[in-house]
Amino acid sequence: MVTITDQKPTMPEVLALYKSVGWSMYTRDPARLERALTHSLMVLGAYEGKQLVGLIRAVGDGETILFIQDLLVLPEYQRRGIGKQLIEALLARFPEVRQRVLLTDDDPKTRSFYKAAGFVESQQMGVIAFYHDQH
């Protein structure tokens, strides 16, 4: 049984989770990742017992925009509904926020997952997304 909580995970737990899904850009600078988590609007963890098995992180103002920055689930726990539970728990905490946005990789599995979770592609809403990367 997985429990979703806003209990702050430890950095070793977080680093292990990010590494397990191959997000090495985050784990190269643990202090920066810790600051990012601290300054996030909300971080929710999914725990099975005492083990962190998933995490969702949101940034924004909590009033007009909610940007889902990270959603991770340990590979051996994927396809069990944990990611969807994390999204639902996060969105339930901000029911009045109109703009709920995320930017993610463009691959069929990812598209399918987010569509099943109720998200639509930006062009279907008559808007366009822009991205500016400093590197």
**Per-residue pLDDT at 19 exceeds 90:** yes
Query: Residue 57: what pLDDT?
Result: 97
Please write the tens of the pLDDT for every residue from 56-90: 999 999 999 999 999 999 999 999 999 999 999 99
Say whether 44 sits in a helix, a strand or coil.
strand
Read off the pLDDT band of 129 (50, 70, 90).
Answer: confident
Q: State the Cα–Cα distance between residues 14 and 35, nearest whole angstrom.
A: 12
Residue 134 lies in a domain: no
Check which CATH number belongs to the domain holding 85 and give it: 3.40.630.30
Cα 31 to Cα 17, 74, 107, 109: the distances in Å are: 16, 22, 30, 31
Please write the tens of the pLDDT for every residue from 97-113: 999 999 988 889 999 99
Residue 127 lies in a domain: no
Quote the pTM value.
0.92
| Buried/exposed code over 87-104 (b: 16+ C-beta within 10 A; e: otherwise) | bebbbeebeebeebbbee
Read off the pLDDT band of 130 (50, 70, 90).
Answer: confident
Residue 113 lies in a domain: no
